[in-house]
Amino acid sequence: MIDKTIKDICIMIDVKNDLSAFDSVVVKGVSIDTRKIESGNLFVPFKGENVDGHQFVRQAIENGASAALWDVHVPDPPEDIPVVVVEDPLLALQELANKYRHELELKVIGITGSNGKTTTKDIVANLLSVKYRVHKTQGNYNNHIGLPLTILSLPQDAEVAVLEMGMSGFGEIELLSEISQPDAAIITNIGESHLQDLGSRENIAKAKLEIVKGLKADGLFAYYGDEPLLQEGVKSLGLKHMETFGRSGSNTIYPTKIEMNNQGSYFETSFAEGETFYLPVLGQHNIHNALAGILIGRHFGLSIDEMKEGLQSLKLTQMRMEMLEGTKGESIINDAYNASPTSMKAAIGLVSELEGFRTKILVLGDMLELGENEEDFHKEIGRMIDSEKIQQVFTFGKLATLIATGALENFPEERVHSFTDKERLTSVLASTIKGDELILFKASRGMKLEEIIDSLKT
């Protein structure tokens, strides 16, 4: 993590006050939460709608922080403790992260996309960790605050940082790219998430392509080549090194053979004919994420055997195609971290094709942030569920009732169950389970379907 004296920090960012009395004070790491302060941290206060973090600066120091930033527009900064007065604490945090990033001898891989960012981050990090000291974005630290905090937490001997980049509107990915200056960048795909904010898939593609704004001149840009919006968007970028991954043979890398089972996938690629890779993750869409990882691995000098090792030992962040077992022996796929029409269809398609289960049950919740066509998206999901391959459909949430409405076009009423009460859904589902089912849980993060899963595991 960052380990600097106050004197060093005053050189790295624009400071508005005289801190010569505290020149030798050492800052180790950064925190924005007084409850999580560690000894030596730099505390960064933010002004919210209801709470101003500046009122907790002295408490942060008492809890172990060495120093704190202070907005120049907030009156009466304390003079008896190391308070670093800046034009804007957020901008100072971002500038400090950018400067620290350039001090480190490391390569940065930036990853964005409508779906699969976290899975691809895990894949890339695991691949490269076979050869390098790798650190990656933890949790959801992928925005204008989280990404700088991630960079400032990097060990000084880190060789690779794999950074996830999220967004809700224009300009956000560009900012993250400029802060982190990636040596390689990936766009996993363009889906429907954030239609509410951006209005169209064309605008989503435009926003995601901002990831190349900070890309090094000789950096690799890898993107999902089966997406026409990306194919069109890259034409004006003028990048030296672009490669694609996807299903079609027009891509730089594509699968030539796929065999899936209930634990993962074996696949061969155009990149290494005759070589079989194993990915211990469910879903054909995750093979595409693995292909992106292979491109990055090749760019950074990994051998075929090292790539195989990196993929085979992969463990994903929780709630991404996570296979669990319930108390009665039922198999549970926890993919409840997030959802969009694209990822929902992929997950349902996966469950439909898996073999060895007498009964397959879908538990689907609201997909959020889909804009004015959200009702149509939900009905479409219901209509595409195959009643011959799926035995029961449970929905949770107001929008998800429309999934049930769509499903009823193909299913008899007794096989479709719609709820807005989570406890009631849990009770009915639990009474349905015999022990030999496969159950998929999929919804947007805000629906918290993992609460139902937890009840089935206890």
CATH architecture of 3-87: 3-Layer(aba) Sandwich (3.40)
pLDDT at residue 50, as a whole number? 85
Domain over 322-457 is classified CATH 2.60.120.10: no
Confidence band of 278 (pLDDT split at 50, 70, 90): very high
- Ordered by start, the domain boundaries in the chain are 3-87, 104-312, 322-457
pLDDT, tens only, 167-190: 989 999 999 999 999 999 999 999
Helices within 117-218 (DSSP H only): 117-128, 146-152, 172-180, 195-198, 201-208
Q: Are 329 and 435 in contact (CB under 8 A)?
A: yes
Query: Residue 193: its pLDDT value, please?
Result: 76
**Band (352; pLDDT cuts 50, 70, 90):** very high
Q: How far is CA 122 from CA 127, 137, 142, 226, 265, in A?
A: 9, 9, 14, 22, 17
Give the predicted TM-score (pTM) of the model: 0.85
CA–CA distances in Å: residue 225 to residues 50, 83, 84, 190, 319: 45, 49, 47, 11, 27
Report which DSSP code applies to 317. Answer: P
Pick the CATH number of 104-312 from 3.30.420.40, 3.30.1490.100, 3.40.1190.10, 3.30.2010.10: 3.40.1190.10
Q: How confident is the model at residue 29 (pLDDT cuts 50, 70, 90)?
A: very high
pLDDT digits (tens, 9 = 90+) for 36-71: 999 999 999 998 888 899 999 999 999 999 999 999
What is the rounded CA–CA span in Å between residue 446 and residue 458? 22
Identify any residues that bridge with 30 across adjacent strands, giving them in sequence order.
Answer: 42
Which pLDDT belongs to residue 254? 97
Name which of 182, 228, 190, 183 is nearest 209 in CA terms. Answer: 190
Instruction: Mention every residue, 6+ apart, whose C-beta is less than 8 A from residue 11.
Output: none
For the stretch 370-429, pLDDT in tens is 988 999 999 999 999 999 999 999 999 999 999 999 999 999 999 999 999 999 999 999
Q: Is 406 helix (H, G, I), strand (E, B) or coil?
A: helix
DSSP letter at 253? B
Indicate whether 316 pLDDT > 80. no
Mean pLDDT of the chain: 94
Contact between residue 453 and residue 334 where contact means Cβ atoms under 8 Å apart? yes
CA distance 71 to 185: 33
Q: How far apart are CA 113 and CA 115, in angstroms?
A: 6
Query: Residue 195: its pLDDT value, please?
Result: 78
